[in-house]
């Protein structure tokens, strides 16, 4: 009886999670009138690819995609390297003042200077309208640092380091040749978290970037949608042209959701087992 109830509950949860994703896909290929009339349920109605054609005809989409790939790859690399190095140092009991340093990190989780203060810092560092303005301000997440520190404390015993030192290994060799190979689940966990965060990020680009050629995909798609809405509300010659513009705006909206989500939907399933294992090893002492 318990298994039946549990399986039934999980099936309902799966449908509740997956169906909205499926609906977005079929809606991007359906006529907006059919969607508004409630005729789109299991398959597209009034099949059309006009929304995708309009989106991909815009060269800024491809430039935004390239920018997002750059920001995601570079930002993930910097974040993972910084967190792994910082967390390992903080996990070492022989680090002088490690409690003080950890306290400085934790304070930033509760006290924030605000958007204006962050903007002034980025400006004074000369990073406005550069790639670094998108990557560096949020490179190190304190919560991820705590997870990585707990992983090292629970899974890299001090006896292992002492044995390596007896064999002539210094701290750098021990970290790169012993600690990192033992930390693959943690590394995959950090990569997965930062891939998602960096790919979906757009707020920092909106605040710190003025050059539209440097906009990430999320911000480009947002601007495309706004432009389509402006076109539909201004400069129209009657109800027919207004309705056509509204129809195109709906097609573009659904198409943009699919385009921006597709890369992560392809990559993340291959990393799911590493994500689960890394999260558990970071929380449970082995």
H helices of the chain, in order, are 2-28, 32-36, 50-56, 59-91, 98-110, 115-124, 131-135, 142-155, 158-166, 171-174, 180-182, 184-200, 203-208, 217-233, 239-283
What is the model's pLDDT at position 236? 44
State the architecture of 59-283 in CATH terms.
Orthogonal Bundle (1.10)
| pLDDT for 141 | 87
Closest CA to 50 of 243, 244, 248, 221: 248
Tokens representing 90 are 């903080």
Report, as ranges of residue numbers, the positions in the chain whose pLDDT lies below 70: 227-243, 245, 272-286
In tens, the pLDDT along 76-105 reads 999 999 999 999 999 988 888 888 999 999
Q: What pLDDT does 259 receive?
A: 82
Please state, in angstroms and rounded to a whole number, the distance separating the CA atoms of residues 91 and 101: 11
User: Quick one: which of 231, 258, 243 has its CA closest to 31?
Assistant: 243
Neighbours of 106 (CB within 10 A): 14
Name the nearest CA neighbour of 21 among 186, 264, 236, 195.
Answer: 264
CA dist., res. 286 & res. 156, Å (int) = 10
**What are the boundaries of each domain within the chain?**
2-36, 59-283
pLDDT tens, position by position, 181-226: 888 888 888 998 899 889 988 888 999 998 888 999 888 877 777 7
Average pLDDT of the chain is 83
Contact at 8 Å (CB) between 76 and 198?
yes
- Residue 137 contacts residue 122 (beta carbons within 8 Å): yes
Give the up-direction half-sphere exposure of residue 218: CA atoms within 13 A in the CB hemisphere: 18
């Amino acid at each position: 009886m318990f298994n039946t109830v549990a399986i039934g509950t999980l099936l309902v949860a799966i449908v509740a999670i997956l169906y909205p994703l499926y609906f977005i896909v079929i809606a991007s290929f359906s006529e907006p009138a059919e969607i508004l009339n409630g005729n789109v349920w299991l398959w597209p109605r009034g099949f059309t690819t006009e929304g995708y054609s309009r989106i991909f005809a815009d060269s800024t989409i491809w430039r935004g995609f390239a920018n997002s790939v750059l920001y995601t790859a570079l930002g993930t690399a910097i974040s993972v390297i910084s967190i792994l190095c910082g967390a390992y140092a903080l996990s070492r009991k022989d680090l002088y003042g490690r409690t003080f340093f950890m306290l400085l990190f934790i304070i930033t989780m509760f006290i924030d200077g605000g958007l204006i203060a962050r903007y002034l810092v980025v400006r004074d560092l000369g990073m406005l309208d550069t790639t670094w303005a998108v990557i560096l301000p949020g490179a190190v997440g304190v919560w991820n640092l705590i997870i990585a520190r707990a992983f090292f404390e629970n899974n890299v015993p001090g006896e292992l380091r002492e044995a390596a030192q007896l064999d002539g290994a210094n701290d750098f060799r021990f970290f790169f040749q012993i600690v990192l190979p033992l930390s693959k689940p943690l590394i995959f966990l950090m990569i997965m978290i930062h891939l998602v965060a960096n790919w979906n990020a757009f707020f920092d680009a909106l605040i710190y970037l003025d050059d539209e050629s440097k906009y990430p995909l999320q911000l480009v798609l947002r601007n495309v949608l706004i432009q389509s809405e402006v076109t539909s509300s201004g400069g129209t010659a009657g109800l027919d042209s207004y309705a056509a513009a509204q129809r195109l705006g709906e097609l573009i909206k659904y198409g943009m959701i699919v385009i921006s989500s597709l890369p992560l939907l392809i990559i993340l399933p291959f990393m799911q087992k590493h994500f689960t294992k890394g999260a558990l090893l970071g929380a449970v002492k082995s």
